[in-house]
């Protein structure tokens, strides 16, 4: 968390005030918590962006990307508890950075907020950006990849399908929560060896992946019981009410109304599934 739908929601939330805006100033907020990983170090970062215009606001897998008029690129990766806000932060003590912006003669602020401080905030030259995140660093976006390409990529790994879906070099944007939901929708057992999936079954996963991720974007992502994830206006997402398996161990499956949802651990992460709907 946040995964593709949450980051897409953040990007859509900040775009109206950031796209084409001029950065008057980027400043660090007073904060005595564990600092975010930032590069280059602050004076250089802040000086290089001052006065630049933001040419585009994009999502790259689970990152927010701001392309600047100077050709530099700002990348914020929320990781676990990071947020980008245009108003009213959940708490003042976890505010990290403030963009002071000017757009159509109006002044706005956009804040980077992070409760646990595990996010990363980086400024790249265009070339550094390509080296770090272009080429083969990330797989195709989960909303862009074709079923055929997904089948081809899954065909090369002996890992289980659930673990493979979390590999950002294989397909980018899916995380632990949506992987369980996607496999439930596709009726695929999470321990199925990825390379053994037929094209037909991968097509089911592909269809489910698109459906679930797009629906989750419509609902502005999932705010779990810890309440951390918020949209850019500091409101809850609402896709959590649509979850069928995630974090529902022991409850009756809403798809078959018979079996209880089970939890297993795969590479130290919880997976939730219905043993009846998702047979081995």
Active site (annotated) includes residue 2: yes
For the question of residue 169 being annotated catalytic, the response is no
Choice between 198 and 257, CB closer to Zn ion: 257
* Whole-number Å distance between alpha carbons of 229 and 207: 26
- Asked whether 182 and 192 are in contact (CB, 8 A), the reply is no
Kindly report the CA angle at 229 between 226 and 230, in degrees rounded to 5?
A: 125
Pick between residue 148 and residue 279 the one whose CB is nearest to Zn ion.
279
Cβ at position 255, least distance to Zn ion in Å: 4
CA distance 62 to 256: 32
Of 87, 102, 120, 97, which is closest to residue 54 (Cα–Cα)? Answer: 102
- Report residue 144 as tokens: 């862009």
Inter-residue contact 65 to 73 (CB < 8 Å): yes
Nearest CB to Zn ion, comparing residues 59 and 262: 262
Could you tell me how many residues of this chain bind Zn ion (CB under 5 A)? 7
DSSP per-residue string spanning 7-58:
HHHHHHHHHHHHTT-EEEEEEEPP--SPPPEEES-HHHHHHHHTT-BEEEEE
Which residues does residue 160 pair with via DSSP β-bridges, in sequence order?
193
Q: Give the CA angle between residues 149, 150, 155 to the nearest 5°.
A: 100
* Active-site annotation holds for 269: yes
From the list 5, 8, 59, 62, the catalytic residue is 62
Q: Which of 12, 27, 201, 269 is catalytic?
A: 269
Distance CA 241, CA 84 (A): 23
Which residue, 33 or 260, is less far from Zn ion as judged by CB? 260
Contact pattern from residue 238 through residue 267 relative to Zn ion, giving x for each residue in contact according to CB under 5 A and a dash for the rest: ---------------x-xx--x--------
Which residues ranging from 147 to 186 are in contact with Zn ion (CB under 5 A)?
Answer: none
Considering beta carbons, is residue 146 or 252 the nearer one to Zn ion? 252
Q: Give the pairing type, strands 73-77 and 120-124.
A: antiparallel
Q: Does 274 bind Zn ion (CB under 5 A)?
A: yes
108 binds Zn ion (CB under 5 A): no
Active site residue 3: yes
Residues acting as catalytic residues: 2-3, 62, 269
State the residues that interact with Zn ion by CB under 5 A: 253, 255-256, 259, 274, 276-277
């Amino acid at each position: 968390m946040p995964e593709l739908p949450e980051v897409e929601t953040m990007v859509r939330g900040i775009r109206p005030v950031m796209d084409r805006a001029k950065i008057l100033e980027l400043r660090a907020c007073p904060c005595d918590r564990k600092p975010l990983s930032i590069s280059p170090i602050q004076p250089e970062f802040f000086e290089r962006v001052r006065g630049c215009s933001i040419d585009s606001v994009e999502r790259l897998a689970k990152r927010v990307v701001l392309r600047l008029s100077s050709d530099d690129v700002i990348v914020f990766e929320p990781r676990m508890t990071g947020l980008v806000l245009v108003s009213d932060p959940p708490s003042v003590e976890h505010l990290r950075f403030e963009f002071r912006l000017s757009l159509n003669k109006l002044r706005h602020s956009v804040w980077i907020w992070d409760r646990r401080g595990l996010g990363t905030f980086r400024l790249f030259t265009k070339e550094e950006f390509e080296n770090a995140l272009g080429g083969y660093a990330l797989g195709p976006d989960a909303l862009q990849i074709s079923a055929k390409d997904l089948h081809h990529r899954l065909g090369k790994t002996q890992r289980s399908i659930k673990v493979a879906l979390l590999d950002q070099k294989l397909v980018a944007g899916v995380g632990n929560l949506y992987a369980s939901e996607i496999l439930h929708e596709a009726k695929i057992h999470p321990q199925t060896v990825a390379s053994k999936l037929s094209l037909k079954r991968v097509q089911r996963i592909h269809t489910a992946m698109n459906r679930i991720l797009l629906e989750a974007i419509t609902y502005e992502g999932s705010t779990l019981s810890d309440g951390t994830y918020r949209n850019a206006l500091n409101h809850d997402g609402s896709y959590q009410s649509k979850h069928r398996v995630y974090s529902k161990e022991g409850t009756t499956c809403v798809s078959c109304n018979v079996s209880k949802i089970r939890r297993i651990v795969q590479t130290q992460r919880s997976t939730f599934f219905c043993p009846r709907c998702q047979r081995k």
